[in-house]
Structure 1
């Protein structure tokens, strides 16, 4: 397909010859972004109605597990069946999952629906970025990615009020039913705007990395299962097995021609390896906020569903605002300063957040969340840029592509760990009192502070490293 947009106007870009394709890809990203914030807002109401509060982390974890696996399969599936067919089929899978959640009589059905949602959204989100590279010119692509960033910020504003209003006026089931309508609209737009051709620039046929992706998916599920274990020993064994599977996946990957991950990923002797540790550690403690802050603020402070959702999205708001302010920076010294500020700032934000939680200061909780998001927004792009610049030239595209994958894995692992900590410290199937909930979440938020401190040390270590390209093995 010919590259589009000879003119620079956003009006021409959105309403020009291929404006429908732009809107379609933005809606694909929006399905993921809105649903993410929607679920965090209404999850407490959902588990209170269906019971089994201990499974609240699984609502996020099972979605992320399937999203990671099928998102990584996106390139292979696109080569096999074409972009339009893939988007069409997986939008149907997403709609089916949304429908199952909306009619679910129990938590088991909810989790099945969330797994299907993750399958659909994981592939749709990946294809939204992948197809963009081929549909649009190199000049138009940054503009499209800028629109994607706006979609994420807009979703943080719309998601909580949309889902919270529907839940308060009607039911959380209506909020999930709305996903079906959006999915059908997306299908219609895909059929009229996305050509059904193989968009891969590489004509070499490669096998799907089934074993490696399965190892990742099983490892995430094993971590999630620890929250259901009554024995600490068994839970620890499951965690050990999960990390062995992660290790095997990365080791196997390094010996393959069609690598999923860059060489020396998570190594401690290269800038790329330390950088990916930082990409993993920074989002890891944020799972505690995403999963438990809406529940905690509703139960302990008695605030509304919508307001609880907005508090949980403060990180997204401040992240977007900070990223916009720091985006124009080009001087390397200033970039390094923001990496330092972001890594340390997240730890300071979590410390203030925990102080507010411990002493029942809601204002400190809110300020802490704002600082966390601002810190991450200030440093994330520059961390990614340094990782890519430090990678072997042949692996720079691979390194850039795997940053969001590792971030998603971190979110999933974090969801599993916080659920386990809360479960072993008194979070039962039914909420007996706000005091019990606060006690159960004490180790969760304490661990978040500890992990953010470790991330700060890795940030300083990463900053100290020079941009020396790693040697592919």
Structure 2
């Protein structure tokens, strides 16, 4: 597709961006509203699962589609991804409890994984690595714009309409994206010599599932040393060993082990894994600070996260252009990570909404500078024949990092919150209900649940039903809950920051090679040049 006219390429990219925006906005619009949705449906202990299942499904879909799209082309998979996402979003609006929401978010995750794997690889089909910097920056800006619009719109919708409209409002955009991809994207011929690696796909999926379930349940549903968790981790080890063996025997492996002999690919993927583990694991709890600790409504909570997205949009677009112009990329990662670390440090010690806004701006700048680099490094280091599987490997490691980070940070959050609550109870500030009548005591006891802080209207409504003489006790209990939640969030943000520091150290060891001006590898260009020279000499 590199030979298509520039106008056709831009038109195709517009169609891809519409599909990506549809997927991204459906993710970000839910983020700010999730605390309220959890409060309505119940099941705060499953809060991280709504996000984890989405990322688990998208991770598996991403890595499987990477190789398949190298065989069958990108078009059928982008279309299939949009269909899965449409179905999942439609069903999410009908969820009656947290369990249904988790299942339907899983379907959405499958669609999102397919869309993202196909979209980012399609950029590699259309443009040479040197040109991809600009388009990678634009695609990052699309994510940023969805992050600007999504949280604020999600907060407004959940405050003013039924929460199901969060999932339904952009369904028409998905249909538009489907039609555009169907009509504009060129069809590619199947590589008849390539065979599908069914065994590798199966055991890779089993490895990812066992690993992520183990991290998700450890410390929350089961103890870290419980038979269930040890069994899942043991199963993951067995599955990955079988997977590695299958890759040495497969004619066309789903994730070629030879890919990881390339130090640029391996180090970029490890950095992406660690970075996403720290970043995603910490950032999903930002609404807990804004809504739970500060008592801000979901609408205004979305406005707090907006500055991060705006600064990310601006910087990622600029960095993409600078990379295309100079052909250099490593320095932007080296510059971006310290800024991200500074933003997370501010998050850890913020005590007001304004400090949260400052943290978001700083973090967004670092994100915009550093994030566009790593897909580009991987794509630039492999041949066009491995473009799909290499891009999928990059997204696989980032998704794994994000999912494991969310699970681990969820464990840290729950254990820290439990410890803080016990500490408050043992400090002499424990609440005694002996002087209250049984019904009032039961109502007051409900204020010992941190989940109450996530639905301010319900909290205030319940508070108004209690006698005047109990109000000082309620105020004291709410303050205690907020202090416990705030301290727990500090632990979470510092843990995430520590991981990003590790990623920064690894970036210093990343080898930089020139960005190619063609989709051909240097040896292929040299061979092509030799052939052309021989033809000229023979003509004479």
Contact 2:84 2:108 (8 Å CA) reproduced: yes
Query: Which has the greater radius of gyration?
Result: 2
CA change 1:236–1:401 in 2 (3 A) is closer
Q: Which of 321-330 and 391-400 deviates more? A: 391-400
CA change 1:47–1:73 in 2 (3 A) is same
Deviations 1:94-150 (A, max 9, x none): 22221221111110000011001011121123233445556x576998476565344
Deviation (angstroms), 1:413: 1.1
Q: Which of 157-166 and 334-343 deviates more? A: 334-343
Aligned to 1:450: 498
CA distance in 2, matches of 1:340, 1:183: 37
Report how many residues are paired: 451
Is 1:54–2:45 an aligned residue pair? yes
Q: Which of 114-123 and 269-278 deviates more? A: 269-278
Aligned to 2:417: 426
Alignment RMSD (CA, Å) = 3.9
Aligned to 1:237: 230
CA change 1:264–1:247 in 2 (3 A) is farther
Aligned to 1:349: 343
Deviations 1:26-76 (A, max 9, x none): 221112211221121211111011111121211111001101111222255
Deviations 1:334-358 (A, max 9, x none): 75443333333333332222122xx
User: Gaps spanning 5+ residues in structure 2: where?
Assistant: 419-448, 454-480, 515-540
Is 1:211–2:259 an aligned residue pair? no
**1:327-346 alignment runs, 5 A limit:** 327=320, 328-329=322-323, 335-346=329-340
Deviation (angstroms), 1:273: 3.2
Is 1:413–2:434 an aligned residue pair? no
Contact 1:81 1:198 (8 Å CA) reproduced: yes
Aligned to 1:180: 171
Aligned to 2:465: none
Aligned to 1:305: 298
Q: Secondary structure at the match of 1:317?
A: helix
Contact 2:41 2:97 (8 Å CA) reproduced: yes
CA change 1:141–1:39 in 2 (3 A) is farther
Is 1:275–2:274 an aligned residue pair? no
Contact 1:62 1:221 (8 Å CA) reproduced: no
CA distance in 2, matches of 1:84, 1:394: 17
Q: Which of 317-326 and 234-243 deviates more? A: 234-243
Give 1:224's match in structure 2, choosing from 202, 216, 219.
216
Deviation (angstroms), 1:270: 4.4
CA change 1:227–1:200 in 2 (3 A) is farther
Give 2:310's match in structure 1, choosing from 300, 308, 317.
317
**1:71-82 alignment runs, 5 A limit:** 71-75=62-66
Aligned to 1:377: 368
Contact 1:61 1:412 (8 Å CA) reproduced: yes
**1:382-397 alignment runs, 5 A limit:** 382-383=373-374, 385-386=376-377
Deviation (angstroms), 1:376: 3.4
Give 1:31's match in structure 2, choosing from 12, 22, 34.
22
Deviation (angstroms), 1:390: 6.1
Contact 1:226 1:238 (8 Å CA) reproduced: no
Q: Secondary structure at the match of 1:73?
A: helix
Aligned to 1:471: none
Contact 2:53 2:109 (8 Å CA) reproduced: yes
Deviation (angstroms), 1:246: 8.2
User: Gaps spanning 5+ residues in structure 1: where?
Assistant: 469-473
Contact 2:194 2:252 (8 Å CA) reproduced: no
Deviation (angstroms), 1:232: 4.0
CA change 1:72–1:365 in 2 (3 A) is same
Contact 1:265 1:276 (8 Å CA) reproduced: no
TM-score (norm 1): 0.80
Give 1:437's match in structure 2, choosing from 465, 485, 496.
485
CA distance in 2, matches of 1:189, 1:386: 29
CA distance in 2, matches of 1:137, 1:446: 39
Deviation (angstroms), 1:251: 3.6
CA change 1:129–1:447 in 2 (3 A) is closer
**1:257-276 alignment runs, 5 A limit:** 257-261=251-255, 263=257, 270=263, 272-276=265-269
Q: Secondary structure at the match of 2:18?
A: helix
TM-score (norm 2): 0.71
Aligned to 2:517: none
Is 1:170–2:191 an aligned residue pair? no
